[in-house]
Amino acid sequence: MSTTPPHPSASKDAAGPRIAPGPPPAVHARGLTVELPSRDRPYAAPLRAVQELDLTVPAGQVTALVGANGAGKTTTLRTILGALPFSAGSLEVLGTAMGPARVAVPQGVAVVPDTPAYPERWTARKVARAQAAAGPFDLARFEARLTAHRVPLDRPVGSLSRGQLTQVAVAAALARDPHLLLLDEPFARLDPLARTDLVDELRELMARGDRTLLLSTHDLEGMDRFVDHLVVIAGGRAVLEGDVETLCEEFLLLEQPSDLAPGSDAGSPLIGPAATGGTMRGLVAVDDAAGLAPDASLRRPTMSELVTHCLRAAGATSAPDTTTAPATTSRRDES
């Protein structure tokens, strides 16, 4: 199991040459705790939607924030935006320390919300004017993108489809040319073609090298070559975090007949085991793969399989347990 590597240091010692420090993370949270009032019981104790969350979003990379409904993903994004206060911990966004009660959106950050909320009578052009009043905004880029996706500019947004409304929100965010772009379930309301087009557009954005993308999504299909960094969140806490390639090298997907004992002869447990069709599947750490049953088969997991089994493991206990939902923060070496 890997652990967080030491941050590159600019100091020089007798053992080696000077090493240039890597860029600071775009988002860095430690022990972040966010409490929300109860909707059904106004006098009840607040709900801890995010609990002692440790989160790193590497600069210049695509980070996927993944978890089940209610895991705390949207709350985390809204806290990064400054829209929600936090009660404990620390949070830095683009190098700026966020105070617990800060409500201003950090400069250089844009968001595509899960459910864009615009006055129903506004048109896309009105949305653009309102956005431009709040800061730098490329109106030509906004209109060109909507025209390319056949979204009417002069129709009230209340009459647009959910997919078209998402396209308006994406166009508004990209027109800001943000250094940090947050997307909350952007693919949920898009058809397959529009989804592919958006991923391609985001690839072009990331190709510039000075942009960072934090993506909250349930849909990881075909994202293995797009996402660099993965954060799996359950119960408001990160149960798995690290570089995607490294994580997929640290674990193996085991498949064996379900009538065999889950795990290995050496007693190594499976992570998030599930039995279907007479076959038991689960993750096993590479270091624990020795001594597996002869009928077991092993292969590298996809990112989606890695997430699925880790979430299943996290749901089996009331708190993250490193024996079933291992947390790691390995990162790809930065040059």
What CATH number has the domain bearing residue 69? 3.40.50.300
Q: What domain range includes position 179?
A: 57-84+103-243
Q: Which residues of 7-20 are buried (b: 16+ CB within 10 A; e: fewer)?
A: eeeeeeeeeeeeee
Q: Single out the residue of 159, 151, 174 nearest to residue 122, CA to CA.
A: 159
pLDDT of residue 16: 47
Q: What is the predicted pLDDT for the residue at 11?
A: 37
Domain match, 204 and 254 both: no
The pLDDT of residue 260: 63
Same domain, residue pair 76 and 225: yes
172 and 313 within one domain: no
Contacts of 35 (CB under 8 A, 6+ apart): 46, 47, 48, 49, 87
Phi, psi at 49, each rounded to 5°: -75, -30
Judgement on whether residues 194 and 63 belong to the same structural domain of the protein? yes
Q: Is residue 117 situated within a structural domain? A: yes
pLDDT of residue 219: 75
For 286-301, write each residue's pLDDT tens digit: 887 776 666 678 888 9
The pTM of this model reads 0.81
Are residues 134 and 250 part of one domain?
A: no
CA 91 to chain centre: 16
Query: What span, in angstroms and rounded, lies between the C-alpha atoms of 89 and 48?
Result: 13
* % the chain with pLDDT above 90: 41
Same domain, yes or no, for 235 and 263? Answer: no
C-alpha–C-alpha distance, residues 295 and 330, integer Å? 31
* pLDDT at residue number 107: 82
pLDDT for 171 equals 96
Q: Which segments in the chain show pLDDT lower than 50?
A: 1-14, 16-17, 19, 263-266, 316-335
**How far lies 188's CA from each of 151, 167, 185, 194, in Å?**
18, 12, 6, 11
